[in-house]
A and B are shown apart, each in its own frame.
Chain A
Amino acid sequence: MFKRVIGVVSALVLLTTSPSYAVASAPKRIISLSPSATEDLFAIGAGPQVIAVDDLSNYPTEAPITKLSAFTPNVEAIAAYHPDFVVLNADATKAAEIKSALENLKIKVFVERAPTTLADAYSEMTALGRATGNMSGAQTVISEMKRKISQIIAKSKRHKPLNIFHELDATLYSATSTTFIGHVYEDFRLTNIADKAAKADDAGYPQLQSEYVIKANPQFIFLSDAQDGVSSSDVAKRPGWNGISAVKYKHVVALPQDIPSRWGPRLVDFYQTISIAIGKIG
């Protein structure tokens, strides 16, 4: 009797702790319908489990890009890949309906929400690690990111108050400090000129007036629309802008493609870009 109890208990312990158990429940056919999640999955080591990613998931290059849409997901098109795990963006069209439709097909769905802080991004990575059986990979990536980012911020010189303007597009949409991207500038103790227009959009993406940007006189302009062809010379040509400090002293910075709009491991590169830019003045 006693032996049998020992046997059952030890079997149970083995079952819950052994790596074979984790692998047995880990998804083997993952579809990512989010460019950020795709970057996360490959970074934490879930790459080999990923069978398809959406049409905007262009990084890393080994990601199996398909015509699947992240914005308007199609249940049948997704099901055709026979996935056992799907990452769905919470902002996708009819996300709730898509989720329950996929779950009816016995497919696990991970709903990814756009984070507003770095901590949110880390907890999402942790959750992806847990759900895909790559917990240790996720933890390594997170601690690496944390280490590098705090190193970059510590190294960035102490500077006098600096105004920045983060440009989303040529019609002067911007991001306030309450947004994910805004927090990054906040980490460098930069003053975001869009904050004065925060009341215009509760999501934190107001459209600024050209005249206001001139008045606010930012020392740095970060072009996240550089990937759409906007260059520092275009910015200098705007009426009245040649008097802006950032334009006068050539501190208009073209941001690398996609990085500022994703919350994956490449965020470190974004911190690095800002650090290098503001390092130019003391």
Chain B
Amino acid sequence: MASKKRGNQELRSIWDWRITAIAALLLLIIGLLGISFGPINLRFDQIFKTILGLPNGLTDQERAVLIDLRLPRVLLAALVGGALATSGAVYQTVFRNPLADPYLLGAASGAGLGATIAITNAHGNLYGLLPVFAFCGAILAVLVGFFISGKFFAEPNSLLLSGIAVGSFATAVQTYLQQRHSASLRPVYSWILGELTAASWRVVTWSSVYILVALTILFAISKQLDGLMLTDEEAYSLGINPNQIRVVAVIAATLATATAVAASGLIGFVGIVVPHLIRGVSHRVTNRALPTIALIGAAFLVLADLGARTLLSPAELPIGVITAFVGAPFFLVVLRRKRLINQ
């Protein structure tokens, strides 16, 4: 009894779960805002009646707007935001590099090449397969980087470097294809800036499977991930096999990233800003924060998407523009405050 209590206290000193609860509440509130606003005015009370299945709710068309347009879009934004933020945090731990982001290891360039192939193919009939191509491109690029670096994680930096080389190669091929098919420049461009306009229940369904599996794995190994912040000898002495954890972590994080990219294009900055924000605000570097990082990443992207839909309404603004435009200055403020505290 006494020891269990002490264990809880230790855990609390590592991570305060109340922060996670607040993050979950925040995501819920922002999610509700997300489904409440759009070009068509839907009344709050009617939205609730419809969700709760009560009579006197929305008309059939309003229902379709809520259920088939807004809800999948908000859910997809949440999934993608959670995936990118979590895999960013994991990459930063695995590579012991605060600048590591989910698109490291060539995942973004590989996905970009896959998407461009789908968009620029001769008759446009691969367009519907864009997510599959982007997904395969991302996974392939990371695998190639893996095999070229050879020793895998004995030296994380060699994987990083081969990832950069593979990424540059994929970008070169992508640019070549784009030049040869300049007529399809706009779809490629809007995909690169990131878009959630294609959100539908089908996309939400398949992406949620991969993302939730990947996130569950990462949450489950969060304690061992903390061990990677020590030297490898110290990690072994704690009963952790660092290379094994690294392989599992990178595969899971890449799966989450590739799925996010395939579903929504390249949305930058979430994977760097959110982990540092949570770690900066909480003064904790522990990977116990991963669920919180996922929740805040989700909330951040849902909010950014709300901006993308409303700022130029009834037109769209690419969401990647918002994440960087809002994220970068905010991030700088957090960095500066953190520096002042450290002094």
Taking Cβ atoms with an 8 Å cutoff, the residues of A that contact B are 56, 69, 71-72, 168-173, 196-197, 199-201, 206-212, 214-216, 227-229, 239-240, 243
Contacts and interface: CB of A to CB of B under 8 A. Distances in A.
Contacts of B39: 209, 211-212, 215
A216 B70 CA distance: 17
Contacts of A206: 312, 315-316
Contacts of B60: 243
B125 A240 contact: no
B65 A214 contact: yes
Given A209-B38, A214-B40, 15 more contacts: A69-B182, A71-B182, A72-B182, A168-B186, A171-B190, A208-B315, A209-B197, A209-B314, A211-B70, A214-B69, A239-B68, A239-B72, A240-B64, A240-B68, A243-B61
Contacts of A72: 179, 182
Contact of A169 (B70, B186, B314): B186
A189 to B, nearest CB: 22
A147 B12 CA distance: 83
Nearest to B314: A212
A42 to B, nearest CB: 21
Give the size category of B's interface with A: 20 to 34
Q: Which of A72, A196, A211, A214 has the most CB of B within 10 A?
A: A211
B6 interface: no
B316 A207 contact: yes
A171 B65 contact: no
Contact of A211 (B65, B123, B124, B195): B65
Contacts of B315: 197, 199-201, 206-209
Nearest to A207: B316
A67 to B, nearest CB: 10
B31 to A, nearest CB: 17
Interface of B: 38-40, 60-61, 64-65, 68-70, 72, 123-125, 127, 179, 182-183, 186-187, 190, 195, 197-198, 200, 309, 312-317
Contacts of A228: 124, 127
Contacts of A210: 69, 197
Contact of B127 (A200, A209, A215, A229): A229
Contact of A243 (B64, B70, B195): B64
A174 to B, nearest CB: 9
Contacts of A227: 124
The 10 tightest CB contacts between A and B, nearest first, are A239-B68, A200-B315, A212-B314, A197-B315, A240-B64, A206-B315, A228-B124, A212-B39, A71-B182, A200-B312
B187 A171 contact: yes
Contact of B316 (A56, A209, A214, A240): A209
B312 A214 contact: no
B69 A196 contact: no
Contacts of A197: 312-315
